[in-house]
A = this chain, B = another copy of it.
Amino acid sequence: MPRYADVMSTPTDDQLASLGAAFDAFARRYKLPDELGSETQLNELDKQTLIYVADHPGCGPTDIARFLAVPNTTISSATDRLAKRGLLERHRPEGDRRAVALQLSADGKARADAIVAAYRDICRRMLEPLSPAERKNFIRMITKIVHHED
């Protein structure tokens, strides 16, 4: 029989197992369907990069690297691929001519929108089995989890 303090302060083993199993199934079930419509598919890093630039026009490679927690050279490769596909443009800003200001081309914007839309569809499918009240609650809790500082 568990002590009161344990029940209050830490999740039970059963709960951890359930959550683990759920996330496991999660990853497999909601793995986004490798670019059905688009001609050439982008890998995960490139998608993340594209979306970051969409949200932060004029940012530099280093900003992205910091945000995604990968080495600078890795982002350099990613932006290279995206530029080569015509999705992203590099500009030398007048202020600091070492820097590079990134922004999306029209194609790049369309692609970013498509990715976000696919992402949103997944979210929609996930929320569907919940009742409106549950949805509200679920989002509240997951937001709490994510915003919580260690």
Contact = CB atoms under 8 A, between A and B. Distances in A.
A38 interface: no
A7 B137 CA distance: 15
Nearest to A139: B18
A127 to B, nearest CB: 4
Contacts of A145: 22, 26, 126-127, 129-130
B144 A129 contact: yes
Contact of A146 (B29, B137, B138): B29
Interface residues of A, number: 47
Copies assembled: 2
Contacts of A150: 125
A120 B7 contact: no
Given A129-B148, A144-B129, A148-B128, A123 B28 contact: no
B22 A127 contact: no
Given A69-B31, A129-B144, A129-B148, A20 B137 contact: no
A15 B135 contact: yes
Nearest to A10: B124
Nearest to A149: B129
A8 interface: yes
A19 interface: yes
